Amino acid sequence: MGNDGGSIPTRRELVKNAARNPNTSELKATQQEAQSHAWTYCPLSNRPLATPIVSDCAGTLYNKDAILEQLLPKDDDVPASLIKEKEDVLQGRVKGLRDVVEVKFTLSKEDKEEKKICPITSKELGPNTKSVYLVPCGHAFSEVAIREVAGETCVECNEPYNSENIITILPLAKEDIARLSARATKLKEAGLTHSLKKAPGSKKRKKNAETEPVSAGEKSAATNGGAAPEGVSEKVKARSTENGSAAPQSKSGTATPMQNGIKNAATASLTAKVLDEQDERNKRRKLGLNDNLKSLFSSGGYSAQAQKSGDFMTRGFSLPKKT
The burial class, CB within 10 Å (0-12 / 13-18 / 19+), for 166 is middle
Q: What is the pTM of this model?
A: 0.61
The pLDDT value recorded for residue 77 is: 80
Higher pLDDT, residue 181 or 233: 181
- Average pLDDT of the chain to the nearest whole number: 76
- The domain locations on the chain are 24-175
Report which of residues 173 and 22 the model is more confident about: 173
Digit-coded pLDDT (tens) for 95-149 = 999 999 999 999 988 777 889 999 999 999 999 999 999 999 999 999 999 988 8
What CATH number belongs to 24-175? 3.30.40.10
Q: In which element (H, E) is residue 296 found?
A: none
Q: How confident is the model at residue 246 (pLDDT cuts 50, 70, 90)?
A: very low
Determine the pLDDT at residue 94.
Answer: 93
Scanning the chain, the segments in alpha helix (DSSP H) are: 11-14, 24-40, 64-71, 80-90, 143-148, 174-189, 203-211, 216-223, 230-243, 265-287, 291-294
Distance CA 106, CA 119 (A): 6
User: How far is the C-alpha of 125 from the C-alpha of 106, rounded, in Å?
Assistant: 9
Q: Is the predicted pLDDT of residue 239 greater than 80, yes or no?
A: no
3-class DSSP state for residue 18? coil
